[in-house]
Structure 1
Amino acid sequence: MPPLVGDTVTLRIESIVFGGAGLARLEDGRVMFVLYGAPGELVEATVETVHKDYLEGAVSRVVEASPDRVEPACPLFGECGGCQLQHMSYPAQLVAKEAIVREQLRRIARIEDPPMRPIAGAANPWAYRNHLRFSTGRMYGDIGFIHRRGRGLLKVENCPIADPWANDLLPKLQGKGAGLHQIQMRHNADTGSYLIAPRIRDLDLVLDTGQKEYRERLAGKDFAVSASAFFQVNSAQADEMVRLVGEALPESGDVLVDAFAGVGTFAVLFAHRFRRVIAIEESASATKDAEENVRQAPNVEVLAGKVEDLLPELIARPDAVLLDPPRPGCAPAVLTAIIEFKPKVLVYVSCNPATLARDIRTLCDGGYRLDSVTPVDMFPQTGHIECVTKLSLATET
């Protein structure tokens, strides 16, 4: 009889997939994605969800442990959904993430031997997260994270991947969340600037809250970031990403298009290499921030709107295009416009190796050559992966 929700099955973990679960196979051939296993381990797993073609679950007991298994640093690991890989040593996490990117490029992009560079691991895989969003207990004001399966609030005293500044503040904020839905905390250690939103009205809290924006520092430049705007959560690895993007972009050129420009970081940081930079961003709050930030670079023009709408309408032919889309990747109209414009260099920053591989296939079919893919571990202890990819026009027309 096929396993049902709540049943325990014994499985061998084959590999780690994007998102951090282990891939295993049932006796009937169906795949089961198992949280908290390591490659090679024999485990007992509890079935949590049954789909038509696959199952999901979590390790309940390790029968044969991997030599890469370590004791998780967080007492809430396994209940909190923020981390998926604390049970694996950091070198093993990096190996697993490299393998995920390589497998996606082989399977989806259909590139048998992808030109991958070694993963850019973090010097410190802990205490890095500079942006946290806490849920609150509306009655008593407790602050924490929601259980990974939605089973209520997990009160948090300390988060091992959080910026130490945030952990120092947690005791002061506990009990102050009554009546609020969430509390957002953002901080940059270099500038000392921070944001705690929304405003917490408590006479005993000697701390400014309710800021509309704060200042981030990236590659030596400061950027205004609104409460609702996106910015990378790992400052040290964001600097490394900038370095890798800089290696991939041309040293000089006429026009750079920074698609999905966010608050304008890449546009500002690489404006000195180009006569003109066109930054395209859809988010209203990020566009507002970008317009303020590009005052540092007068040759940058910010266009507000969807990339798939604005990119095909550009008159200027770009020498290079920098893509940094959200997780779903690029809309077909974006890739079609790029293929028609034929910029010599594309730099694609991705947070989803599957949609990256899909878009690489389209671009290669449209006349581009994949030069390099560098995974970047922006989120240690989790199943998330960033990549910096360079493509070049294969033939000049």
Structure 2
Amino acid sequence: MTEIVQIKMEKLVYGGDCLGRLPDGRAVFVPFVLPGEIVKIEIVDEKQRFARAIPIEIIEESPDRITPRCIHFGECGGCQYQNLDYAKQLKAKEAIVRDQFERIGKFVDPPIKPIVPSPSLWNYRNTVQFQIGKGGELGYIHADGEHLLPIYECHLPQAMINDLWPQIELGADPGLYRLGIRQDTYENLMLILEGEDKTPPEFSLDIPVSAVYTPPEDRLTVLAGDDHLTYEILNRDFQVSARSFFQVNTKMAEKMVRFLLEHIKLEANTRAVELYAGVGLFSAFIAEKVGHLTAIESSGAACHDFAVNLDEFDNVVLYEAEAEEVLPSLNLSPDVLIADPPRSGLAPAVHDAIAALQPEQIIYISCDPATLARDLKKITRKGYRLVSATPFDLFPQTAHVETIVLMSRIDN
């Protein structure tokens, strides 16, 4: 039986939903509504201590509510905040980072710095990934997380990506489950086709773009053009292959690099370690300022790009392996350790190895404030203090937020 209730929403929380309270006192999480709004909701998932619901009718709107730009807002799982003015988005993200530090990390009055805004609120993404339906239609995952939502417009990708994707016609049963499109600094485009079959599909497009086919657990096939693009960050070019990760907001990546260079103590005799080094975005700027840099990265494609991007340096050692495999065996005493792990955060073995190495400074870069707060709680128990945490808004209109944390050994 469908349960409809009317409640007043309280605050935006981690993940993009808004928190309210049911008549029995349980927390209920509702998407696409704002704090202060009185809303009729339908309960869709009930647990003993909380519930999830969808909005049925907004009885009283928040004065902060604005008209979303996209026709898919409210159904698409990509954006959560298009109905909120950008200044209020920033305040919400800053508050969410603080909340995670206090609730999960147990930090009292954590040193959260003002969030760094994005210079572009729309059309900032240099990459986008479409899921592909059985009829060949392009879409994103629906906000319910259960099915594909065909997409007819999207305001987050850069202009050339948005010009290209509506022209793509795959036909029924194309043998693909995902299509990625990237745009680099020099206005080159790449299509990344993903399918289960080892044999690439037939491909033709009357547009000069690069294209690759990447089956899981097998080598990629170049269908057209090159197997990589080139991104410029602070006057330095970075090769990024189809299977390598790169920050989706190029201008904000530059702001993050500048922040690190301004806040990390780097000298000619500094010994630095970088975990999850990727294609060398941070390493390339650190290597020119330190005596020695040890980088660790598990992706073979990213390691290939790293070697190209840092070929000029002879003070850099790169390990292609998981951080938990290499870090415990390193025979060095680093001054600075930088970690930019995946959303899941640091493995237990990495925590133990960091505690054993005892670097003077730790810089933790995270895209997930919950796992970040969890990891920082563990690190501070090993003799470190939290110096600052600065959120960066790499993802306007969404609930996602990047954070750079500076930590120092207590004896310093």
Same fold (TM > 0.5): yes
Q: Which residue of 1 aligns with 2:196?
A: none
2:257 is the counterpart of 1:238: no
Q: Secondary structure at the match of 1:392?
A: strand
Give, in angstroms, the shift of residue 203 of structure 1: 4.7
Q: Distance in 1 between matches of 2:171 and 2:207?
A: 12
- Does the CA contact (< 8 Å) of 1:177 and 1:183 recur in 2? no
Q: Which residue of 2 aligns with 1:216?
A: 231
The residue correspondences of 1:337-376 to structure 2 (distance < 5 A) are 337-376=353-392
Pick the aligned partner of 1:123 from 119, 122, 130: 119
| Deviation string, structure 1 residues 275-310 (Cα, Å, up to 9, x no partner) | 111110112222222222221433221101111121
Q: Secondary structure at the match of 2:256?
A: helix
Q: Secondary structure at the match of 1:85?
A: coil
Pick the aligned partner of 1:113 from 87, 109, 113: 109
- Does the CA contact (< 8 Å) of 2:77 and 2:143 recur in 1? yes
Q: Which residue of 2 aligns with 1:70?
A: 66
The code of the aligned residue for 2:165 comes to L
Point out where structure 2 has 5 or more consecutive residues left out of the alignment.
Answer: 194-199, 213-225
Q: Which residue of 1 aligns with 2:157?
A: 162
Q: Which residue of 2 aligns with 1:43?
A: 39
Q: Which residue of 2 aligns with 1:285?
A: 301
- Does the CA contact (< 8 Å) of 2:77 and 2:145 recur in 1? no
Point out where structure 1 has 5 or more consecutive residues left out of the alignment.
Answer: none
Q: Distance in 2 between matches of 1:278 and 1:127?
A: 36
- Does the CA contact (< 8 Å) of 1:246 and 1:270 recur in 2? yes
2:27 is the counterpart of 1:31: yes
Structure 1 length-normalised TM: 0.93
Q: Distance in 1 between matches of 2:35 and 2:344?
A: 27
Q: Which residue of 1 aligns with 2:398?
A: 382
The code of the aligned residue for 1:230 comes to F
Q: Which residue of 2 aligns with 1:93?
A: 89
Q: Distance in 2 between matches of 1:75 and 1:284?
A: 39
Pick the aligned partner of 1:251 from 266, 280, 285: 266
The code of the aligned residue for 2:322 comes to K
2:146 is the counterpart of 1:145: no
2:16 is the counterpart of 1:20: yes
**Pairs aligned (count):** 390
Bigger drift between 348-357 and 203-212 goes to 203-212
The verdict on how the C-alpha distance between 1:89 and 1:282 changes in structure 2, with shifts beyond 3 A counting, is same
The verdict on how the C-alpha distance between 1:357 and 1:202 changes in structure 2, with shifts beyond 3 A counting, is closer
Q: Distance in 1 between matches of 2:294 and 2:11?
A: 41
Give, in angstroms, the shift of residue 143 of structure 1: 2.0
Give, in angstroms, the shift of residue 148 of structure 1: 2.7
Q: Secondary structure at the match of 1:91?
A: helix
The verdict on how the C-alpha distance between 1:200 and 1:34 changes in structure 2, with shifts beyond 3 A counting, is same
| Percent identical | 37
Q: Secondary structure at the match of 1:66?
A: coil
Give, in angstroms, the shift of residue 106 of structure 1: 1.4
Q: Secondary structure at the match of 2:291?
A: strand
Q: Which residue of 2 aligns with 1:192?
A: 187
Cα-Cα RMSD? 1.9
Q: Distance in 1 between matches of 2:112 and 2:145?
A: 38
